[in-house]
Amino acid sequence: MAKEQFIYSHTRQLFSTLESISQRSGVSRGKAFEDLLEACVAALAAETMEPAYFEAIKAHLEGTQGKRGVDLFPKFLAQLIEGMSEQDQDLLGDLFEGSISYGEKGQFLTPESVSQLLANLTIDVEGKRENGKTQTINDPCCGTGRMLLKAGEINPNAELVGQDIDARCVRITALNLGLRGKYGYVICGNSLTLESKLAYRIGSFYHESSNGRRRGVIREIPLEQAPVPFVSDTTRSATQDLFSDEAEPLKSSQVQEVPQNIIEVPQWLFRLEQRMGDVDSGKGTIEPAETEKEESPSTKPASDTDTTKTQKKLF
């Protein structure tokens, strides 16, 4: 196996925790990484993805409490959040490329310096809003979301839409956007054939669960709600069997069960919360909040405190 190589110092800490989880649970490093990503996404979903969470930790429950693989899951997420706070870089992407994919199938992530250059060449700084609507920025092959992150730095109010065929990259992008206060959509699918498997909505929201109100930044949504065209597996299968005598009748696509008691947090309200927080902490005086109404709702993530509380309750 190729030797691990990382660009950022905090990645080595994440890798150490990942290796410990792999050894404790008796699974491959790749399997442990995939389960970690799914569990971390679910931990930031305000209890709207509980089945996915329990499925992700199922292989890591063996052993005595405190020495199980699952016991290190919250440590990994805490290290990730701390590392992002101290070193605002794509740590998950660095971990993925340096110890998991090793460039498999020619998959190499775009260096962040190149991502910054492409964002500067592509995003019109002056034209942040078009006809009063929020600007939408799409990356049809987003990888771990590096170019979307750079685009979001140029236009913090943009709606970021990423697509990738690799579910691991999709979850990394969702975490990268959600933990950095961006909003938009991340879709797992093929941008050329329009085959899609799942979609995430990124942005701060409240969910009224059986345990009370929870705040999250990532949630899974039906593909119909994503702002990109898609072809369902049912439709494609029916098309392939169109001229077959044994073709099965087209089945109605199952409607994904999603919580209806979701309240998205508008961008202007999130800004106001941030300013109120700055005043309470003595960082400065409050400024008038921007209350301009946007056609498409903007969302922002919860504070680090709320995020930590959410993941503690789930793990």
Q: Per residue in 226-283, pLDDT tens?
A: 988 877 655 555 555 555 555 444 443 434 456 668 888 876 676 677 677 766 666 5
Whole-structure pTM value: 0.78
- Nearest CA to 58 among 75, 46, 70? 70
Q: What is the pLDDT of residues 195-214, one digit of tens each?
A: 899 999 999 999 988 888 89
Q: Is 59 a residue whose pLDDT tops 90?
A: yes
Among 75-79, 295-299, 304-308, which range has the highest average pLDDT? 75-79
Q: Is 125 a residue whose pLDDT tops 90?
A: no
Q: Is 103 a residue whose pLDDT tops 80?
A: no
For the segment 28-46, the average pLDDT, to the nearest whole number, is 96
What pLDDT, on the 0 to 100 scale, is given for residue 80?
96
What pLDDT, on the 0 to 100 scale, is given for residue 232?
61
Q: What is the SS3 assignment for the chain?
A: CCCCCCCCHHHHHHHHHHHHHHHHHCCCHHHHHHHHHHHHHHHCCCCCCHHHHHHHHHHHCCCCCCCCHHHHHHHHHHHHHHHHHHCCCCHHHHHHHHHHHCCHHHCCCCCHHHHHHHHHHHCCCCCCEECCEECEEEECCCCCCHHHHHHHHHCCCCEEEEEECCHHHHHHHHHHHHCCCCCEEEEEECCCCCEEEEEEEEEEEEEEECCEEEEEEEEEECHHHCCCCCECHHHHHHHHCCCCCCCCCCCCCCCCCCCCCEEECCHHHHHHHHHHHHHHCCCCCCCCCCCCCCCCCCCCCCCHHHHHHHHHHHC
Query: Higher pLDDT residue, 90 or 271?
Result: 90
What pLDDT, on the 0 to 100 scale, is given for residue 227?
87
Q: Which two tokens stand for residue 137?
A: 């920025």
What pLDDT, on the 0 to 100 scale, is given for residue 231?
75
What pLDDT, on the 0 to 100 scale, is given for residue 68?
97
Q: Phi first, then psi: give them for residue 109, nearest 5 degrees.
A: -80, 145
CA distance 184 to 138: 10
CA distance 13 to 77: 11
What pLDDT, on the 0 to 100 scale, is given for residue 65?
93
For the segment 99-118, the average pLDDT, to the nearest whole number, is 83
CA distance 213 to 303: 15
For the segment 57-75, the average pLDDT, to the nearest whole number, is 96
For the segment 156-174, the average pLDDT, to the nearest whole number, is 94
Residues contacting residue 12 through CB under 8 Å, at least 6 positions apart: 6
Instruction: Give the rounded percent of residues in the chain with a pLDDT score beyond 70.
Output: 72
CA distance 135 to 292: 15
Are 207 and 213 spatial neighbours (Cβ–Cβ below 8 Å)? yes
CA distance 149 to 167: 18
What pLDDT, on the 0 to 100 scale, is given for residue 292?
42
Ramachandran area for residue 247 (φ above 0: left; ψ -120 to 50: alpha; else beta): beta
What pLDDT, on the 0 to 100 scale, is given for residue 32?
97
Instruction: Give the rounded percent of residues in the chain with a pLDDT score beyond 90.
Output: 52
- Determine which of 123-127, 209-213, 294-298 has the lowest per-residue pLDDT on average: 294-298
- Determine which of 74-83, 135-144, 235-244, 284-293 has the lowest per-residue pLDDT on average: 284-293
Q: List C-alpha distances in Å: 37 to 77, 80, 137, 204.
A: 9, 11, 24, 19
